[in-house]
C-alpha cells in the first residue's frame, strides 16, 4: 500500500561533503533517497538511487524527478545542496565564472524545484531546503564573494518567497546557511585559525549542517526560515 512506503528525499550534490552526510542521515532515518551529482557511484542499496548528471541542465532535473517517482512513487523532501564557490575580486570574474556559478547555484535549483513542488502538490505536502551560505548575509573584508552573495543569497530569498506562496498547500520551504564548514573545499585548519572564524571557536562540521536540516525536517511549524549554522558568525559579523 502507498501508506507503507518510506518517505523520499532527493539530495543534489549528494556525492561528497554535506550532500553525502545528508544522504547517510536520511537513510539512517529510514527514508528512501535519490542522490545526484556530476559524478556519483551506483548504489547497491535498493532504497538509495543515484543519478549522475549536471543538475544545472533541465534534462538532468527531469531525470532526477522522474526516476524518484518511478522508483519510490513520491517526493517528500528536496534538498538543493549542489553548489560551487569561486572567490575573486569582482572585476576579475570572467563570463565563464559567472556562467558556472549561476548555472549550478541558481540553475541547479530552479528546474528541479519546479518539478519537485509539482509532485508535492499532488500529495498536498512536502518540504524543500535550500543550502545557502552565511557569507551571503555577512560579506567579509579580504574574502571577495559577490557571486556567492548573488546566488546563495538568492536561494535564501527564494526560500522565503516560496514558503509564503505554498504555505496554504502543505509545502514548507526553508534554507540553511552554513559558515565555513570542514569539507574537501575547506580542510581543517589549526585551532587559532578556526577560532578567528566564529565565536564558537571552530570550523563547522558536516554533522552541524546535517543536524540543522534534520531539525527543519522535524519542525512542521517552521517555514520561510533561513537557519544560520555558522558558530555565531551571523551575530558577530564574522565569517564563521
Which 3-state string (H, E, C) describes the chain?
CHHHCCCEEEEECCCCHHHHHHHHHHHHCCCEEEEEECCCCCCCCCCEEEEECCCCCHHHHHHHHHHHHHHHCCCCEEEECCCCCCCCCHHHCCHHHHHHHHHHHHHHHHHHHHHHHHHHHHHCCEEEEEECCHHHCCCECCECCHHHHHHHHHHHHHHHHHHHHHHHHCEEEEEEEECCECCCCCCCCCHHHHHCCCCCCCCECHHHHHHHHHHHHCCCCCCCCEEEECCCHHHHCCCC
Burial of 103 (0-12, 13-18, 19+ CB in 10 A): middle
Name the band, by pLDDT with cuts 50, 70 and 90, for residue 191: very low
In the chain, % of residues over pLDDT 70: 91
Name the band, by pLDDT with cuts 50, 70 and 90, for residue 141: confident
Residue 106 has pLDDT above 60, yes or no: yes
Distance CA 18, CA 177 (A): 12
Residue 197 has pLDDT above 80, yes or no: no
Give the residue numbers spanning the domain of 78. Answer: 2-236
Residue-wise pLDDT tens digits, 114-129? 999 999 999 999 999 9
Name the band, by pLDDT with cuts 50, 70 and 90, for residue 192: very low
Q: What's the pLDDT score for residue 187? A: 53
In terms of pLDDT, which residue wins out, 54 or 202? Answer: 54
| Structural domains in the chain (count) | 1
CATH of residue 27's domain is 3.40.50.720
Spatial CA neighbour of 202 closest among 238, 176, 148: 238
> What average pLDDT does the segment 36-62 reach?
97
pTM exceeds 0.75: yes
Q: Which three cell numbers stand for residue 38?
A: 556530476
Report the chain's mean pLDDT, rounded to a whole number. 92
Residue 186 has pLDDT above 70, yes or no: no
Residue-wise pLDDT tens digits, 198-231? 889 889 999 999 999 999 999 999 999 999 999 9
Residue 188 has pLDDT above 90, yes or no: no
Residue 177 has pLDDT above 80, yes or no: yes
Residue 157 has pLDDT above 70, yes or no: yes
> 160: number of CA atoms within 13 Å, CB side?
9
Q: What's the pLDDT score for residue 235? A: 87
Amino acid at each position: 500500500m502507498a501508506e507503507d512506503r518510506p518517505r523520499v528525499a532527493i539530495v543534489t550534490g549528494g556525492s561528497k561533503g554535506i550532500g553525502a552526510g545528508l544522504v547517510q542521515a536520511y537513510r539512517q532515518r529510514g527514508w528512501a533517497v535519490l542522490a545526484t551529482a556530476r559524478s556519483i557511484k551506483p548504489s547497491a542499496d535498493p532504497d538509495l538511487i543515484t543519478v549522475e548528471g549536471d543538475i544545472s541542465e533541465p534534462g538532468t532535473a527531469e531525470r532526477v524527478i522522474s526516476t524518484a517517482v518511478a522508483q519510490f512513487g513520491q517526493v517528500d523532501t528536496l534538498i538543493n545542496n549542489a553548489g560551487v564557490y569561486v572567490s575573486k575580486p569582482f572585476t576579475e570574474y570572467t563570463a565563464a565564472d559567472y556562467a558556472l556559478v549561476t548555472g549550478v547555484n541558481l540553475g541547479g535549483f530552479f528546474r528541479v524545484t519546479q518539478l519537485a513542488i509539482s509532485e508535492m502538490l499532488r500529495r498536498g505536502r512536502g518540504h524543500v531546503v535550500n543550502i545557502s551560505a552565511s557569507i551571503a548575509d555577512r560579506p567579509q573584508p579580504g574574502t571577495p564573494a559577490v557571486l556567492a552573495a548573488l546566488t546563495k543569497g538568492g536561494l535564501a530569498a527564494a526560500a522565503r518567497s516560496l514558503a509564503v506562496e505554498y504555505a496554504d498547500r502543505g509545502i514548507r520551504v526553508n534554507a540553511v546557511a552554513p559558515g565555513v564548514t570542514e569539507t574537501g573545499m575547506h580542510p581543517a585548519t589549526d585551532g587559532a585559525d578556526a577560532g578567528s572564524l566564529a565565536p564558537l571557536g571552530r570550523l563547522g562540521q558536516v554533522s552541524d549542517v546535517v543536524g540543522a536540516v534534520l531539525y527543519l525536517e522535524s519542525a512542521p511549524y517552521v517555514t520561510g526560515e533561513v537557519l544560520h549554522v555558522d558558530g555565531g558568525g551571523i551575530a558577530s559579523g564574522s565569517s564563521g
